[in-house]
Structure 1
C-alpha cells in the first residue's frame, strides 16, 4: 500500500434544499487536512483528497479514513487537528465524530 492512511473528504454538490458536504465546507476541509499533514511532515505517508458522495449526506460534512474504513460526520474545520493527531498519527479514532454507517 502506498499510503499508511488515506483520507477521502466529500465535496459533493447537490441542488438545494438537499444537504451537501461541498456546500458545508467540504472543500475547505480538504485544504485543512492537506495543510495539517504538510505541517507535520506526513505527506509522503498519508494523503487527503476530495471525493464525490460518500452516501452520508445527512451527517455531513463527511469523510472516511482508510485502510480502516472509519467514517466521520459533521466534521468542522476545528476538528481537523484532532483527527490528524489522534487517528492518523496515533491510530485512535475520534469517537465523538465516528459514524456507524
Structure 2
C-alpha cells in the first residue's frame, strides 16, 4: 500500500521565453486552494491525499495541468470550481472527471501541407 492514497501534483512552471506556462494561468493559487480544501475535508496526510507543487510537467501548452497518482490521470482546470470538482469526484468518490481530463497520449503534430 502506498503512503498516500492519492498524490496530486500541480505544475507551477514559469517560462520566460513567451511559451505558455501553468504559472501564468493562476496555478499556484489553485494548488494552494486544493491543499486547503483537502485539509478542510480531513483528507490530508498519511493514508489520504497529498497536494504538491511540481516543476515543469511538460504539458504547459495544454494547461494549466495537474496529475493525480496512483491512477496517472491528467487534468486541466480553469478555476476553483474545476479544482473542487476534481477533489470531490476523483479524490473523494474515485470517479475520473472526463470533462477536465487530458488525453493520455501526446497531441499529434499536424502533417506539413503539400501546397
Number of equivalences: 101
Structure 2: 5+ residue stretches without partners:
106-115
Runs of 4+ in 1 over 4 A off after TM superposition: none
Deviation at 1:75, TM superposition (A): 4.0
CA distance 1:65–1:33, shift in 2 (3 Å)? same
Match of 1:39 in 2: 40
TM-score between the two structures when normalised by the length of structure 1: 0.93
Structure with the largest fraction of helix: 1
1:83 aligned to 2:61? no
Q: What CA distance in whole angstroms lies between the structure 2 residues aligned with 1:93 and 1:24? A: 23
Deviation at 1:54, TM superposition (A): 1.2
Deviation at 1:39, TM superposition (A): 1.2
Deviation at 1:16, TM superposition (A): 4.4
Deviations 1:18-45 (A, max 9, x none): 1110111111111011011011001121
